[in-house]
Chains A and B, each alone.
Chain A
Amino acid sequence: MENFLTFFSFSDPNVRYVVLGTILLSASAAMVGSFILLQKKALVGDAVAHSVLPGICAAFLFSGTKSIPLMLLGAFTTGWLALVAIDYLTAHSKIKKDAAIGLVLSVFFGTGIVMMTYIQQSGNAAQSGLDHFIFGKAAALVGSDLLVFSILAMVILITVSLFFKTFALIAFDRAFAQALGYPVRRLDLLLTSLTVLAVVTGITAVGVVLMAAMLITPPAAARYWTDNIRRMVLIAVLFGTFAGLAGAYISYVAPAMPTGPWMVVVSSLIAFFSFFFAPRRGIVPKLYRQRKNQRVIAEENAMKVFYHLGEQGGNFTGQHNLQALMGQRDMGAANLRAALHRLQAKGWVTVQHGQWSLTDDGVGKAAKVVRLHRLWELYLTQYMAIAADHVHDDAETIEHILTPELERELEHQLGYPDKDPHDTEIPKG
């Protein structure tokens, strides 16, 4: 708790640097990442992130110090080279994109490792802490670095805002953007450069290995909460920032903990939560909607049973016990009983001494389902040339989904019919 207060009071200047740094990096990564995700280039981001390592090491070898601006320059150069290499390989040989990404990623990173181990063996005292770039150490952020990161983050922020509409259009419909005369190739290059910049801002705190996750995971999670691209970017930035702060806090409380992996784990958990529980696209709400569909189907089928029994006996509000209902249509005793109780709650059926019957409202509802069934059967025979003995199964499903507008359209196209293809009467609506 004490840690919590110290951390969030920001009284310690180091904490301030760390917090500010992580917020800047997570926000800019999530922002650029949104467009990378929408362009389906998530794994390219991974390759770029790995590929900045040789640049960082080269800068160190060159200068002999851990000069942040110089390292960023090096990182930018090799990150950019990696992207160009991937594009070049796929465009100029039969090598496919996935192999190009994997190849460039492993070779660049391997080269980086060689340089790093070479530096470590060389005994230069300044090299200590260079390996923090692999998994990240937010605590390593100091004031002067922060200035550089702030400038980079501002550049990313402003550029993305300026080109927001254009990037959105290219991600959605490349060919159309081209037809409108947008310089798509050059804009690709711009997004590429921004990607590299975003990766570069993250390497101190997150490290190169997991930086890709900060690009991909928050936008992937955000995609589940909205279909509006502006909102998506905003939500992605919020998710990313939260994950960044959480990671920084954890490694502040437990200094042995690397920052990057915790940031990734937190943003992954947000993403998993989104995959499962986001209202419209999540897995659980989807299952719930499917369950609800099944319930509606069961209820409407139960009412149809009463209606059919009513047609046979001439009395739509007649009383029937469970056996009689089951005899008309075997929909499983438990399923039927549950459906009847739900219908009872809605006031469409009543029960007396184990005898079930439709209420007046219920008769109307049942008639409507039967009516839709028979209208659809007629539609299938008349418009789709399907034989009358083949239309029943299809109508069994469609009867539950037709809206009043579709019903009117159906009636109109069929010329307000009285009889279905089996010459049975279609109940009036």
Chain B
Amino acid sequence: MIIQTPDPVLEVHDLTVSYARKPVLWGIDFTLPAGSITGIVGPNGAGKSTLLKAIMGLIPLSSGYVKLFGEPLDTVRNRISYVPQRESVDWDFPVSVLDVVLMGRYGKMGLLGNPGRHDRDMALHCLEKVGMSAFAKRQISQLSGGQQQRVFLARALAQEADFYFMDEPFAGVDAATEQAIIDLLKDMAAAHKTIVVVHHDLQSARTYFDWIVLLNMRLVAAGPTEQVFTEVLVQQAYGGRLNLLSQVGDLMEKREFPAREN
């Protein structure tokens, strides 16, 4: 079941992504409305993070296209924010919390610009919003998992974007941080920002998100939570892989077949 939206801010069209010729996402096709908080939900290995990376242009597409605000990514990049998985970076890196948040301003600074007074104020303000002002000078290796996630969130806020993509922001954080983050996301949505979150907890998905994308290598459903988040559809997403699909994928990898003819 795919419920399309008029005037979408995100349009994903016939998106296929392969790793080593083996398709991990098949023909994904959906749209999202502005000001929504969308959860991308599915079992492990469903391709949730892959979908996010494909939308952000971080991995090549085998087919299809993505449009944000009706434009290709490159023309609207400064309106988009991306929060990678917390584990994807080395937290021993010699930078302070404030340094990391300032990185969110780099996109606005241009090639040779340096962070100015306004950027620092902005960064400090964002730290305050996530309740981390006291930690500005702290080196990042001294933070707990929840604090690291808050810093990443502050960096995203510092980008002053209109569209936020977050990869597993609730993974391995304490309950207080989880609540703080979701409150912040709701505030942002109220200010007409659009937010997409990769999420793996079914319990909380219903209350957190007003739009759901159910994924398991293929799109199972996409639409408003109350219409899409039904037992039948969730069962379909979590009810194991489509055997035939996996077999065809394996065959393509083994025979080095292209994901698209040319």
Contact = CB atoms under 8 A, between A and B. Distances in A.
- Indicate if A touches B (C-beta under 8 A): yes
A386 B248 contact: no
A212 B125 CA distance: 54
A109 interface: no
B218 interface: yes
A326 interface: no
Interface in A377-397: 379-380, 383-387, 390-391, 393-394, 396-397
Contacts of A400: 257
Residue of A297, A397, A402, A410 with most partner-chain B CB within 10 A: A397
B255 interface: yes
B219 interface: yes
B251 A403 contact: yes
A301 B259 CA distance: 16
A384 B26 contact: yes
B242 interface: yes
Given A286-B256, A289-B256, A385-B2, A394 B26 contact: yes
Interface in B42-76: 63
Contacts of B257: 293, 397, 400-401
B207 interface: no
Contacts of B259: 397
Name the prevailing secondary structure of the B interface residues: mixed
A178 interface: no
B248 A393 contact: no
Contacts of A401: 248, 251-252, 255, 257
Given A297-B261, A386-B27, A394 B16 contact: yes
A410 B244 contact: yes
Contact of B244 (A301, A379, A386, A391): A379
B92 interface: yes
A393 B65 CA distance: 13
Given A384-B219, A401-B257, A409 B248 contact: no
B244 A385 contact: no
Contact of A94 (B27, B92, B245): B92
A413 B244 contact: yes
B118 interface: no
A397 B260 CA distance: 6
A290 interface: yes
A383 B242 contact: yes
A384 B27 contact: yes
Contacts of A286: 256
B1 interface: yes
Contacts of A403: 251
B219 A393 contact: no
Interface in B199-245: 218-221, 242, 244-245
B99 interface: no
| Closest A-B pairs by Cβ, 8 of them | A384-B218, A94-B92, A386-B27, A390-B14, A401-B257, A289-B256, A397-B261, A394-B27
Interface of B: 1-2, 14, 16, 26-27, 29, 63, 92, 141, 218-221, 242, 244-245, 247-248, 251-252, 255-261
12 contacts: A94-B141, A293-B255, A384-B27, A384-B219, A385-B218, A386-B218, A386-B219, A387-B2, A394-B14, A394-B16, A394-B27, A409-B247
Given A383-B245, A384-B27, 20 more contacts: A289-B255, A290-B258, A293-B258, A380-B27, A385-B2, A385-B221, A386-B219, A387-B29, A390-B14, A390-B27, A390-B29, A391-B27, A393-B260, A394-B14, A394-B63, A397-B257, A401-B251, A406-B247, A406-B251, A410-B244
